[in-house]
Structure 1
Amino acid sequence: MTNKYVNFISDEHLLNCIENLHKAYLRAKNNISKKSFYTNKVDTIKLTFDAKFNGLNEDDLIQSEILRQIDKSINNSIGTFHEQILGGIKDYEAGNLSGFDIKAKDNTLFADIKNKHNTMNSSSAEALFQKLARYADDYKKAKCYWVQILAKGSFNKLWKGEINGKEYSHSRVYKISGDQFYALLSGQDNALFQLYKALPKAINDYLKSVEKDDSVKENSALEEIISETEKTNRSILDQITFENYSYYLGFDKL
């Protein structure tokens, strides 16, 4: 039977991966209460510039900041989505927090997946190289990969060079772009392109199969903040500043 979406994983597996990501979106939206919005301290000086320079009213300003926080959470889930997709390819499996993201079932490949090429600082890069080199040393037939789903080129090459002032190289440690890694595991050069083209239809099919969950209260943070302003007569931005920095000198006068 021919697959409906892509040729390298089953339709059922693709829809399951989409379902998992959808649940991550719902969790991210549901999690932005006022308390969680304030977790990392809101930069209200930056928000003041954003409001004035981008011509945003306070409601739109805070909503965009909430969406930015949601987006940050979702970016991590997108990486997990790729791990789950690739783990559904024949002869491979996802790591599920076991030290690697993807491995060949016969231990001839180990990979760590990053959604974007620029998500690591030098210390993280050094730790990743050392981890991949250990897998290569422990499994003599294994090739080990740093996968960049969204890379600045299409490549599959040895990862070598200077990190934190030290020279690093290993005969079986590679860095590879997302398209090349999808091709490597699936045996199909256009596998990532297949996924890209199939996603709109697959997502639509998935959404038709699920009922809207009205119990998910999206982005309650703004509603909670506005409720406070009705009691204090502060502006939204002043209310956020007071609730984040009332212990700063002078800020208790807001």
Structure 2
Amino acid sequence: MMWNLTFISEEDFTSHVKATIEKYGEKLESFDLKRFNKNIIDPIKLIFDKTVYQSSWEEIVSNEIFRQRDKSNNNDIGYFHQRIFQYIKNCHVPPNGEEGGWDVIYENPDGISIPDAGIVHTVYVEMKNKHNTMNSASAGKTFIKMQNQLLNDDDCACFLVEAIAQRSQNIKWETTVDKKKVGHKLIRRVSLDKFYALVTGQEDAFYQMCMILPSVIEKVVKELEGTIVPHDTVIDELRAMASEQNIESEDLAIAMAVYMLGFGSYKGFTKK
């Protein structure tokens, strides 16, 4: 594989992908029936989903396991988006909670051009995975934090960088604080592609990273295969439970096994 990224080395990028995968941690552990039902699943929902979506039991169980794993994976992807900048020239990723709690600090002695606002030498970044993850209170708190930074440093800008923004943009951020609409030309809302372009000097840097990412993830997963690939046993355990039911239809027997996960003590489901 030819390495075409000029702003990060193959070694650093591979190390970062590996660190991100390892952050998945216990979510990569295999699911057995006990873990599957740890928070007690909704059997009625599973029955509806299976029938309405015309899925097999294997598919619907696999989907539910994926959903449970996926609930806590966003933080790990946030780690990927943030910590990659530690490898990019002029960028600094402070330890959690330190240096004002900023996610990324970008400093360039040659100056950083801010649209309609001139030149600064430092950009302080608050990073979000998705454009709609902040409620009004959180947005107001973040804006005030950025205002305070500008008061303390008249040679900086503050960016709200969104990995999944509504569009590619680098615009003045306007929000509501204490029921008043506020904005400042040095407080900006920036999509991740525009931030990559700014710090690397390459307009399509984010696109280029995305193009190389799948093959690097695949390579790292193969290297870690013995330690991270889960071997889920839920469907096998449900089939074993189903075989103990005195029900001729295998589909209904598995449905009964699923019912027992949530309704095992309910009248009619007990064997008493």
Q: TM-score, normalised by structure 1?
A: 0.80
Match of 2:55 in 1: 56
Q: Which has the larger radius of gyration?
A: 2
SS for the counterpart of 1:83 is: helix
Whether the 8 Å CA contact 2:17–2:217 is kept in 1: the answer is yes
Corresponding residue for residue 130 of structure 2 = 116
Q: How many residues align?
A: 248
Q: Distance in 1 between matches of 2:156 and 2:39?
A: 41
The aligned residue for residue 187 of structure 2 is: 173
| CA-CA distance at 1:89 after TM superposition | 0.8
- The one-letter code of the counterpart of 1:212 is E
Alignment of 1:93-108 (within 5 A): 93-98=92-97, 99-104=101-106, 108=122
Structure 2 unaligned blocks of 5 or more: 109-120, 247-251
What is the identity, as a one-letter code, of the residue corresponding to 1:133?
Q
Residue 268 of structure 2 aligns with which residue? 253
Contact map agreement 2:175 2:182 (CA 8 A) in 1? yes
User: Compared with structure 1, are the counterparts of its residues 101 and 214 closer, same or farther at alpha carbon in structure 2 (3 Å cutoff)?
Assistant: closer
Secondary structure (helix, strand or coil) at the match of 1:160 reads: strand
Cα distance, 1:238 vs structure 2: 4.4
| Residues 120-148 of structure 1: per-residue CA shift (max 9 Å, x gap) | 33333333333333333343322111111
TM-aligned CA deviation for residue 109 of structure 1: 1.7
**Residues 212 and 87 of structure 1: CA distance in aligned 2, closer, same or farther (over 3 Å):** same
Match of 1:187 among 196, 201, 217: 201
CA distance in 2, matches of 1:15, 1:219: 27
Question: What is residue 219 of structure 1 aligned with on the other side?
Answer: 232
In the alignment, is the contact (CA less than 8 A) between 2:122 and 2:157 conserved in 1?
yes
Aligned to 1:75: 74
Q: CA RMSD in A?
A: 3.1
Offset, 1:171: 4.1
1:87 partner SS:
helix
Q: Distance in 2 between matches of 1:97 and 1:154?
A: 28
1:142 touches 1:172 (CA, 8 Å); kept in 2?
A: yes
Farther-moved stretch of structure 1 (40-49 vs 89-98): 40-49
CA distance in 1, matches of 2:164, 2:61: 29
Q: Is the 8 A contact 1:26 1:216 kept in 2?
A: no
- Residue 176 of structure 1 and its aligned partner are, at CA, apart by 0.5
Give the conservation status (yes or no) of the 8 Å contact 1:86–1:185: no
Q: What secondary structure, in the 3-state scheme, does the structure 2 residue paired with 1:181 have?
A: helix
Alignment-mate amino acid for residue 196 of structure 1: C
| CA contact 1:29–1:218 (8 Å) conserved in 2 | no
Structure 1 residues 237 and 91: CA distance shift in structure 2, 3 A: farther
Distance across 2 between alignment mates of 1:156 and 1:167: 19
Confirm or deny: 8 A CA contact 2:42 2:262 kept in the other structure.
no
TM-score computed with the length of structure 2 as normaliser: 0.75
Which is further off, 109-118 or 38-47? 38-47
Distance in 1 between the 2:6 and 2:91 partners?
Answer: 15
Matched letter for residue 154 of structure 1 = S
CA distance in 2, matches of 1:19, 1:109: 28
Higher mean C-alpha deviation, range 136-145 or range 4-13: 136-145
Question: 1:183 offset after TM fit, Å?
Answer: 0.7
**In structure 2, what is the Cα distance between the partners aligned to 1:159 and 1:136?**
14
Contact kept, 8 Å, 2:28 with 2:228, in 1: the verdict is no
Q: Distance in 1 between matches of 2:171 and 2:177?
A: 17
Q: After superposition, what is the alpha-carbon deviation per residue over 1:136-166, rounded to whole angstroms, capped at 9, x for unaligned? A: 3343322111111122211111111336844
Note the alpha carbon deviations across 1:99-121, whole angstroms, 9 max, x for none: 22211358822212222222333
CA contact (8 A) 2:131 2:166 kept: yes
* 2:169/2:191 contact within 8 Å kept: yes
Paired with 1:195 and 1:236, the residues of 2 have a C-alpha distance of 44
